[in-house]
């Protein structure tokens, strides 16, 4: 048990990325502020990229595949974050707040 903790391997990075992924998911579920939801989504995407990089480093001889997929996911996640932020800005201009509960109440 202690030996496995002292030797950094693939499992360590998978555990790290799993914890980050679950943290991001938890953030999406519990946050009331829309901006924080977007940030949590970004954490989820970064955890996926860490996973790819770890697999590339430990299982694949070259890092080319992992780098390529990682860059692709990063670009996609940044684009989706920016699109979400633009939508949020529009919502804010109309409502003056980004609280999901308040917006729901207003709709009702």
- Within a 10 A sphere around the Cβ of 37, how many other Cβ atoms? 20
- Per CB under 8 A, the list member of 1, 2, 3, 8 interacting with other proteins is 8
4 binds other proteins (CB under 8 A): no
84 binds other proteins (CB under 8 A): yes
Q: Tokens 């579920």 belong to which residue?
A: 29
Q: 1 vs 54, which CB is nearer to other proteins?
A: 54
102 binds other proteins (CB under 8 A): no
19 binds other proteins (CB under 8 A): yes
Give CA separation, 15 vs 5, 18, 79, 85, 103, in Å. Answer: 12, 5, 27, 30, 37
Joined together, the tokens standing for residue 97 give 């707040």
The C-alpha atoms of residue 97 and residue 91 are separated, in whole angstroms, by 8
57 binds other proteins (CB under 8 A): yes
Encoded one letter per residue, x for contact with other proteins by CB under 8 A and - for no contact, window 64-83 reads -xxx-xxx-xxx-xx-xxxx
């Amino acid at each position: 048990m202690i030996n496995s903790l002292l030797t950094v391997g693939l499992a360590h990075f998978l555990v790290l990325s799993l914890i980050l992924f679950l943290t991001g998911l938890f953030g999406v579920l519990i946050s009331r502020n829309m901006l924080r939801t977007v940030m949590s989504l970004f954490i989820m995407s970064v955890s996926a990229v860490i996973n790819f990089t770890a697999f590339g480093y430990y299982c694949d001889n070259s890092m080319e595949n992992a780098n390529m997929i990682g860059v692709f996911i990063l670009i996609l996640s940044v684009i989706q974050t920016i699109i979400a932020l633009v939508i949020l800005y529009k919502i804010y201009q109309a409502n003056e707040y980004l609280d999901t509960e308040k917006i729901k109440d207003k709709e009702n």
